[in-house]
Structure 1
């Protein structure tokens, strides 16, 4: 063991993992850090990138401690961190600030997946958060009043787990600078609203008798303003109305009683302590009469109270009021009602003086020992800025509707634009507010506790300073900057908040308010668009103006919006439609085709809202929309026709290999789109998809080979002097390619008479290299990567061999796995006669007379068992991995191939490169029971369909069924399941592969 460690140190001499070295790098306890790094293993200890990332965190010791615990729970995280810089930055950034979120990731290591891939840096729409938290409690997001699966501890724990997973996702973006303060606070508010909605769903399940009442939850304070903290009480007000039933209305008293029961249950669902902790307290103290008043009132009761009894501070609080959960229509009526009153409140007698007195009372209640360190309530704290901004808004907002904003920074910017606050003062206040809020967030993230007091500990201050980017003297730099902002904020607060003119302005006559409607926004939201505002922008861009193009779009879009809404991802569908329209909108036939051919518009909508892969293809070949007009346009084109077109394309660009292959790849892009549409439309089955993709890859390789040969001959100023052929292997050889498959091949050449063997070898090597280079050039189409690793000796062997060399190798060195690999061998490009000669050479190995010996069978079984144990990715669910999982593609293919190796020498019907054909032949020959053959074929087809669908939906290849509920739903929808049946899809897959695995264990390992 010691020798291994010494070797690791020698391999990376730059890293001196001694306690002193680590202490100098930033670890407070170098000895402990050295021990933890060594415990992670030599690869982690020698990983410069990992060490640099740890050192860059706010608290390297804290980050390393949490990472050590996480790696102990799930060792696969270390490899993921090495391979994914984004995950490394995001996860370690969180672990270096938040011990609480570190604890959460250790308990739920799967949540680190939220920090990988393209969506890791993307803010989720509010509707997505709502849907995710509703699903966590077993409620259906699409219901107008969703009801949870129950109200037990398991349901409440699931809500907390889902909530903190999203908190982790947000904190990672926040701490790595991918999300600014406004985005962070808005998302926290959206997340709180989603949790309240989920809590309400739990309450409805607990009290089904409350269906007779409508309940709206109004967010107040920072939640209402969409500027919430990481940990804060969530201020709410409850509004209820009896529900009209059968032409009558329930009694108001009974409705309030039932609504109170519902509200109390919702509050418990959010604040109750579970094994996963609690969320936060739901505070309803801002309601009329405060804690002494009823928890729930009707809209009429609220109106009566505010008109007659409300105090000034209550109108100041109502400035932030916003419906966040429950009955949206009722909440909207409440918001409209209080909005009218809020902007009249400044005209009340003594309004300004009351607000100023309220601020003094708040200051007086701050504990003396904390006052100087209180960033919220202390002098120069957040409340100083908020009170100043709110008072200016309330006074001037009566006559200036542009000031009527809930969020502090947005309102401050409007005050500056309107001249109510000087630009320099506004800028200073905004900078102070932003800094103080960031400090507040860092304080709360550490333990996920509600706090606003700057700590005195030097370690805590260092963590704050480093998290804010202060690398040099973080304690001193942080303290200096904090005091500067606090002093500036206090000075400007006193300047603005106590302006003598404010009271006079408040007594001026008020102007009329301007109202706006959100009808279009609400309709899009009701249709299922998660980003209605974004959808509205797309609609505006498509329909604005008086052109004919805009007129047709106005005719099309009302119908297409409904079609998009019926797809898995309406927002992506509408975005894709706008992008395609932008590219083709000036083309006369495009919109006319959509208007006059309903099938094209409907297919296009379904395609764009289902498949990122197909959408990406279409954006680079928008003219392919025309092939949607008929089923015949989706038929895969014959390989001969494609090859003729591709070779003609190469012929038009003599001496321009790169240009020629780029054109061929454009042809491939168009045909990939045709296949994807036919696949999603159910026009072709999984076998036809594999054949079409494989034939297209054959054509692409053959055309690129022509270009490569031409270029090499030009450079050599003469013919190659050797015959050259490409042998397809793997899924390409089996005509079973998926959308994300590489092209497994072997290169063979045979020198022509009179050509020196070295010259021939050099020419063949140049052709193979040029072919791979041409197909790997950057392009907008999905890549076709040439993988030659199945050749003799693998990566260590020569890229190209002569036919004689292959014969010598296979005659002396061939292993059983190579005979198995040759079962897929098929000529796909180049010299056809040479290809046939190679296959004739391979036949005795793959179809041995009398079958392979028992020792080879045993070796193949051992190899399969080892592959199952070693090749499945860490963390992958063996039941949901389509390729290497139990009952998946590999299982079925190895059964078919073992039957071929044992019997194809005597039974020619088994001599095929295709899995399903081999299974059918085995059944026909009596080698496999018909029922077993059907079970294996079903599992293979389903796994292939799922693997293809993953690429179509996500736009990139993956082998595992996703664990994310939303992604799984998108996938199941693409496979034809209804929206609510994503778990049915998973159950079907598990059932099919479980049955297949039983057959595999019996047929492959026992017979």
Structure 2
């Protein structure tokens, strides 16, 4: 929402204004008349603002009446009407602390500074000169300055007395690290917040330079106590900030300060779910910033898990239930933070997504709530309309919180219980009366509560509230109680399993398997909650036996990482999609069992069955990698692999669901490979240049990168499949003899060889998420004995003078996948020159036929003489879709033959690299009839569709001989008519 509007002062508040102004004027005690003159010089707008503030805030009136000069100076300096510049708050306080001689003086100056800034911040908030972001930012900057400058002042004097704390291992001076948690950490501090702090220090040791050395921990404990006193102790000037240290390890009973090792050990071994929630917002607010950054990096794995962590929802749900119990016990329903539909529920919604997905989606590793909401919308975690409502509701609630706290600088989120304060809150919020404000407040709390239930609510809650049986409740006795095999088999059979005995045995094997028997208590509880849901949904499938057979290996695979079971328990729609996909394809079932992180893709049906187009695909991958530090190669490799796995699953799911036809499946898989290769080349280039500098062209200019990756075969022909290898060739246009310009120079030939090796390493290295692609480089000039990377001129010479006909056939399907646009254009000229030369057609037919005969002999079905014997057309025979006569390779060879035979007369045949469009070109050139072209295209698509189906069923590309009779005979006929044998 925008800033609450300004409204006229209501009559009940006018008496407050009159009384406040009289108090202030009386406090001036201005015998010389100079202060009154300064006040009289105020413009009308400032006088009106003073009246608004007097009506709304007893705190401001109290402060300016105690110290009228403070307000006049704020006004004279123009600080009431302008925003602070970056660092200005800190500079002001630093100047005040220069002359402090003891801790009493330090405390006095801190409190006076805080009161002065608090008056300014409340003034600007109530007069609508500062929005929510500026108010929270100013309050957080004030806290940062007070904490860090007080710490620095105390540290220096503490070292003078007790020596400098020094690391036992490093021998370096040690500083404390002060973490700000909660709203301070997120820079969302409200007008009267506590500050939640955690203290740490890098390493153990003892102080140096004093008569009696202290252990580092003892040194920092004493320093921490002094810092808390400087900030928290009430004096005649009030306090700076109330300090809460209960979020530290072991809470109030734990040591005030711990070393980094002790902190890491605690969170690793004993950290609880609520501590993960709290640590999301942790920020270094004082002390050693560099060491603090290291500490947060150490603790990041505790907060953000690398797998999908739906257990976070259950933890947040439990926390919310405890809060609700406290709200009910203390009668706090009117609390706009903790009550139903309050600020905390918006925070829980955002943090649920952060804890679940933040380990993999680094963009969610943010502290400020409004930034997280923007990402939830932008990344598709929540609908934009829902996020807009949550943002507007949150801002309304936060403005209301500030209105409540501005009255008396009191830490409260309770709605007022007296008419005067009700009038004040309505006035501050821009409403004419309390009733209209309260009605709007109830509306926003209702919307927040609704959205909260959609995200956080227990999936069984509705059934429980309506007195219905829990989902899968009928299966609980079968799974949880003493195993009665006869009863279990009968129940499974009655529910729709064809073979109840086999289903029973599968479940019994899971129950008694080592993975389940050694599960911890929490994991076993999650499994016990999941299995009944699984069975309840399985019996609704067409083939529950098949579903159970394919899904239980996944259950066993994730049993020790039970957060995945929570994901499926929490998301019935995702479970249903899992069962449907596993029923449709054992390949998909195996992929998800091997890489359970793919379960994330099942959460959003719209996204699952609608893979993005090529530009969006490339942009999404670039964005993902941009969030990873450039030097974190392990994370980059994992991100690339997860991206490939996720999008390959989406394509397979769309293919099974029938939302993506065959040609589009190949297009998407090809685009996916291209998007990945683009980023792999960028990573390899950056790494190689960082080590050796940039290579040079022959003219001396720097290469950037003067390198292309050629795709042959399926990727070149835009016919990529789910398990296809990458047939690649690398070409550069650098000077092979010129040295690179880096600190460790090497010649251009070496540089590009290492670049090629790096690319292959990135593609083929096995990580926890598998490899990216198998890579075949045998189509490069001279094959396995040739250079890994060729210059374009060497490639041209080889193709012109040395290449075999089969290599020119392969070149028909070659195209540039990624790399330098200019070099890509130069390659196309070389390709066209090589392929479009006039050839002896008899010799060409003979060489193409001989190569095809070798392939049939080696790869075709022997029992049917590669599909030529009569048995090849019988039901008990076999037809190899790719290699047998009349199959895929025959069509590919005819297309390649035609391109080599006639492209010198019809260069348009070389425009495309895929068989379908080359066939279109043959028809347009009058080299084949429309009927022949359509027949070959339809047969080719039918074969490839069948091969894709076989692949998804984890079957070889072989079908029974009684299939595709017409297509095979027609392809063989056209083969003969072209003079091929």
TM-based fold match above 0.5: no
TM-score category of the 2 structures, normalised to the smaller one: 0.3 to 0.5
TM-score by length of 1: 0.42
